[in-house]
Structure 1
Amino acid sequence: VIYANKISLFPIGTLLYVGIGASAGKVGYANENGYSNQQITGLIPLNCYSRFYFYYLSALKDKIRDNAFFTTLPIINNAYLGQELIPFPTISEQHSIADYLDQKCSEIDELISIKQQKIEKLKDYKRSLIFECVTGKRKV
């Protein structure tokens, strides 16, 4: 956020929303205080749980991006983003939903990591097999 040549610090919990370019619509969550460039909009949730809205905006990424103003690149400005209707469940519901999604997404990420490791081992085996066959070290 820039105000009259003053750069403001985004606090922990700020949602970092990409508003322009190939990554428009992507959302991140600030685990630390930080700054950004003008392509990132800092959304500082007030009276709500930012992890819930991180998941909400992540789920709507394609919808918002597809309806964004386009020239050469998609542009999601603050006025457009401000028109998006956002649900407002109770704080306890927001925490429950976000905590559940944190747990499930973590489990899924772990499974993905295990599968990626297996894929890398199979790729290594494939490269090794090709090398051995073309160099005559393995009889076909």
Structure 2
Amino acid sequence: MAILNFNACFPDSIVGIVPNEEIDLDFLFYALKALKAKFLSEATLTTQYNLNVDRIGPIKIPIPPIGEQKEIVLNLEADTATIDKAISKAEREIELIREHKEAMIAEAVMGKRKVK
């Protein structure tokens, strides 16, 4: 899924959605992202997944008032920012551990570290 900031044409295997003023674009993105598994279950699969309006049109998305949509987006962005920060920290720690492992291997191979 993606939000485009330009006009586009889509082949029959992709569905483009243009929201009206009653739907916050970011809210719609999160709602569609939450329905990804449902969309994939509706897609036909040959060499790639294919979606069309006939297959996903009947899927309903609850649309609260615009103010509530914006509040949901703000809360999601705050929560996911915290999660993303934790993921980033964990990934950096993993990278440091890998670097330490590589250094230990190099020291052992060069005879600078005793191996038991």
* CA shift digits 1:61-83 (9 cap, x unpaired): 11210221222322112332322
Note if contact 2:19-2:25 (Cα within 8 Å) is conserved in structure 1. Answer: yes
How many residue pairs match? The answer is 113
C-alpha distance in structure 2 between counterparts of 1:48 and 1:126, whole Å: 50
- Structure having the larger proportion of residues in helix: 2
TM-aligned CA distance change 1:59 to 1:37, over 3 Å: same
Work out the percentage of aligned pairs sharing the same amino acid.
35
Residue 43 of structure 1 corresponds to: 17
Q: Return the index of the structure with the highest Cα Rg.
A: 2
Cα RMSD of the aligned pairs, angstroms, is 2.0
Residue 28 of structure 1 corresponds to: 2
Matched, 1:134 2:114: no
Structure 2 segments unaligned to the other structure (5+ residues):
none
Q: TM-score, normalised by structure 1?
A: 0.70
TM-aligned CA distance change 1:106 to 1:36, over 3 Å: farther
* CA shift digits 1:84-129 (9 cap, x unpaired): 2111211111111111001111111111111111111111111111
- Structure having the larger proportion of residues in strand: 1
C-alpha distance in structure 1 between counterparts of 2:59 and 2:9, whole Å: 23
SS in 2 for 1:45: coil
